[in-house]
């Protein structure tokens, strides 16, 4: 089995050269697979969909975390919704002012598998500032109003366990779970292959939050290689993005030279997120 393909909604396929299957199991929620690859490092798949490779995971995890946390004035309590691989938590912990990170992941087995087989991504989950909550994030968010400065929705595709994380009711619960001045970021899929999802998510977000903005990045092993993210809240401006703080947490993708540039959208993406 030298080549492994992810087929995306009968529209495209991504092929990766794998050298070994190091783990496979069926959790109560999904099929979890970990592979060694040629050129991409470890690969995590859930129900046949690529969740990350060690080659390019930094793009996604830096974008979903550093942009909102460098806009918020002083983020101390952060909730990561989903994100069982631990990569977003790893990036959040690079912000010295963060005092508490709650990871709410519905499938504990994803987290335990990543801790065992992909420690470069999941290796910070034992930090004393991290609380692991293995539960339905929809219920957890609803039951924790006024609790977080930032909520990062690191979900998989809006099917199966993640289906409830893309609707207006959940976004309204996110707003209630924020402290004053709080901010939300979320992955919002491919503008090429999931245009209806992107359009729908931004419409729902604008029905809940005063301020909603889109940004994007290049992730080669995600369908189309182009991925969108949302930033939402009631009390922030993009010009709040602090280049000094960005420089302090600069990784391999996000840094002061990127900053507001992540919000410079191609025209077709701008029209999509604005509902044109």
Contact 152, 83 (CB under 8 A): yes
| SS3 sequence of 201-229 | HHHHHHCCCCEEEEEEEECCCCCCCEEEE
Distance in angstroms (rounded) separating the CA atoms of residues 212 and 274: 10
Q: Any catalytic annotation for residue 127?
A: no
Q: Is 144 in contact with 177 (CB distance < 8 Å)?
A: yes
How many of the other CB atoms lie within 10 Å of CB of 176?
14
Q: Which of left, alpha, beta for 2 (phi over 0: left; psi -120 to 50: alpha)?
A: alpha
* CA 80 – CA 120 distance, rounded (Å): 18
Q: Distance (Å, rounded) from C-alpha 242 to C-alpha 139? A: 33
* Cβ contact 135:157 at 8 Å: no
Q: Which of 56, 154, 196, 276 is catalytic?
A: 154
Name the nearest CA neighbour of 86 among 129, 43, 33, 122: 122
**Residues taking part in catalysis:** 154
């Amino acid at each position: 089995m030298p080549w492994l393909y992810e087929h995306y909604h009968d529209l495209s396929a991504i092929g990766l050269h794998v050298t070994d299957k190091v783990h496979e199991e069926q959790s109560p929620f999904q099929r979890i697979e970990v592979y060694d690859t040629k050129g991409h490092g470890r690969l995590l798949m859930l129900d046949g969909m690529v969740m990350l490779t060690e080659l390019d995971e930094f793009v996604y995890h830096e974008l979903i975390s550093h942009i909102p946390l460098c806009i918020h004035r002083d983020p101390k309590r952060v909730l990561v919704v989903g994100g069982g691989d631990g990569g977003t938590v790893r990036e959040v912990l690079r912000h010295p002012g963060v005092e508490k990170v709650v990871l709410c992941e519905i499938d504990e087995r994803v987290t335990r598998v990543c801790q065992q087989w992909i420690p470069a991504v999941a290796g910070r989950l034992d930090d004393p500032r991290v609380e692991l909550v293995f539960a339905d994030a929809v219920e957890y968010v609803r039951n924790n109003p006024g609790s977080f400065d930032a909520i990062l929705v690191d979900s998989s595709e809006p099917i199966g366990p993640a289906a409830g994380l893309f609707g207006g009711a959940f976004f309204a619960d996110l707003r209630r779970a924020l402290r004053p001045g709080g901010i939300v970021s979320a992955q919002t899929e491919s503008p090429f292959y999931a245009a209806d999802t992107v359009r729908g998510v931004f419409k729902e977000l604008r029905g809940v939050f005063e301020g909603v903005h889109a940004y994007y990045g290049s992730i080669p092993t995600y369908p189309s290689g182009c991925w969108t993210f949302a930033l939402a809240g009631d009390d922030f401006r993009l010009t709040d993005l602090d280049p000094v703080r960005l420089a302090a947490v600069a990784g391999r993708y996000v840094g002061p030279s990127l900053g507001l540039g992540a919000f410079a959208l191609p025209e077709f993406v701008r029209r999509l997120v604005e509902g044109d």
